[in-house]
A and B are shown apart, each in its own frame.
Chain A
Amino acid sequence: MASSPLGTLKNKTIFAAAWLGWSIMQVKILQDWGFTAKIAALDSLVSNGLLATFTIIIVNSLRYYRPKKGKYIYIITICAVKAGLWGVLVKYIMSNIFPAETAYLDFLEKFMPIRFDIALLVALCMALISELFYTLEEQKDSEYRKTDAEKLAREAELYKLRQQLQPHFLFNSLNSISALITIQPAQARKMIQQLSDFLRGTLKKEENQWISLEDELQHLQLYLDIEKVRFGHRLNTAVTCAGADAKLTLPSMLLQPLVENAIKFGLYDTTETVTITIDAARESHYLVVTIQNPFDPETSSPKQGTGFGLSSVQRRLYLLFARNDLLSTRHTDNLFTTVIKIPQPKAVGTETLNY
């Protein structure tokens, strides 16, 4: 990225070409006025050389000192001072080079105000261009930072959301294994296997990666089997997917927090045996998963139903699809139902509607 308007080779070339063109034109004009080629050339070289130096100084000083928004009087003043200084310098140098050329010196004196005006205009033009350039650059920079920060925040958030779901389950499962080891070693080994498969599946999955419904249900089944070992005496589960087809996909780890939530509410909100049902089906361009769990309407207000699990899924759905209407809950008597709709990505050639 260029750090100054004169930073790129292209802009340098344009600047140099403009300077050269301007200088040659001045030589021609002075010759037309009747001055010798030597005087015309030196006049042009000195005045335009100085002018170029001053404008470069202005451009670079604006890079380090930006006037506050709207304080353009500062720029105008600087340009005026620089143009004045330029006029004095030109006059001083030229009268030293050609002390005897009175006709030329007279001409220089007479036309100085006009040349001052032109120098001021050139300086102002350059200042304006660099001011625009730097403002644009700043804007680009802040925009870049903003999107970068947003991306980082999103990644961190997704990571955190997933992490928060795990430890409790993991340690309780390990504790169950610890109990099984002495009384039912074979069962302990089986549970270690299930837990390992489950954890491996979790680790393998990248956030935002889409997987088939079948894989996700298999992964969930592992989770449910482990929970059954822990709460076997009270927990029943029923997973159905009669209305689903093999093509359905969903973002990984999206269902688990919901099932976890259902189990949590089912198990922790009642003291009786609970049945958690999970049903997956296709409805036009959506995969619709319905999860049901019993709850006690007396102790949990519907508001509480949007526990951590639900709000994290809601947030993920928003990050993925920019929609807030994909997750819904309802409750009848003592049954809590969570419905999640996952838009299916457009399959090439077959689907006509986008989600």
Chain B
Amino acid sequence: MKKAIIVDDEPLARMVVKEYLLQHPNITVVHECNDGFEGIKAIIQHQPDVVFLDIQMPKINGFEMLELVEQPPAVIFTTAFDEYAIKAFESHAVDYLLKPFSQDRFDKAIERLTERDATVTLNNTRDLLDTAAQGPQQNQRIVVKTGNKIKIIPIDEVHYLESADDYVKIHTKEGAFLKNKTMGHFEKVLDPQQFVRTHRSYMVNVQLVTRIDPYEKENFLAQLKTGAQVPVSKTGYAKLKSVLGI
């Protein structure tokens, strides 16, 4: 018996999935969620085999929800996103169903799910999130989890990023938040005109830079409006200069 969770903010959309699942008695819906927050809780609580996941949802979208789950399960996207937007994820997700979808199409998705072995699915979900992170909404904000609370940080409120082992420390006026990502990831995702990798372990919001001072040999320190100082390497200095137009 397989466990499934449906995450969709439209009750009628969840109903379609439930109705189609009647043809698959080996899959039971253990929980229905209205939004991503409920989705995270339900995934932790039930450890489902598959999640039917909508992308556009209140507060956090489907991709952001998955990012916050440590062991993301197999995912079948159910979305009205246009084909172009979803195409990029085609190879990574177990499957994606474009609303409205038919029973036949749904059955094929379930078939693909049973064919795949679990480890492949897990890796695929990770790849998927990396691709999704370059989507239009994700470069506007960063979603982090602090304890049991989920925090959405608008990108303009990020002062600078600092790498810390396997994490990236996101510095804001409310303090620092940890995100399980690499600097390379943020370099890919964030607008290069706004965030410049000034150093191997630092990225800075250029809107906040007030001064760049020399510091030790060939190194510099960027002074931020907030009073913080961010290390700038020789190559970082060149990048920063070209973005600032000086």
Contact = CB atoms under 8 A, between A and B. Distances in A.
A167 B57 contact: no
Interface residues of B, number: 28
Contacts of B59: 268-271, 296, 299
Given A175-B12, A175-B13, A270-B58, A301 B100 contact: no
A296 B141 CA distance: 14
Interface in B35-81: 35, 37, 56-59, 80-81
Interface stretch (A102-110, A150-158, A178-186, A282-290): A178-186
A179 B15 contact: yes
Contacts of B99: 171-172, 174-175, 178
Interface stretch (A75-83, A225-233, A237-245): A225-233
A196 to B, nearest CB: 16
B11 interface: yes
B12 A230 contact: yes
B10 A231 contact: yes
Interface stretch (B121-129, B151-159, B186-194): B151-159
Contacts of B58: 267-271
Contacts of A180: 12
Contacts of B81: 168
Contacts of A301: 154, 156-157
A233 B11 contact: yes
A233 B34 CA distance: 11
A53 interface: no
A175 B54 CA distance: 12
Contacts of A304: 140, 154
A208 interface: no
B100 A171 contact: yes
A10 interface: no
19 contacts: A167-B80, A168-B56, A168-B81, A171-B99, A171-B100, A172-B80, A174-B100, A175-B13, A175-B101, A176-B10, A180-B12, A229-B12, A231-B9, A267-B9, A269-B58, A299-B59, A301-B157, A304-B140, A304-B154
Interface of A: 167-168, 171-172, 174-180, 182-183, 229-233, 267-271, 296, 298-301, 303-304
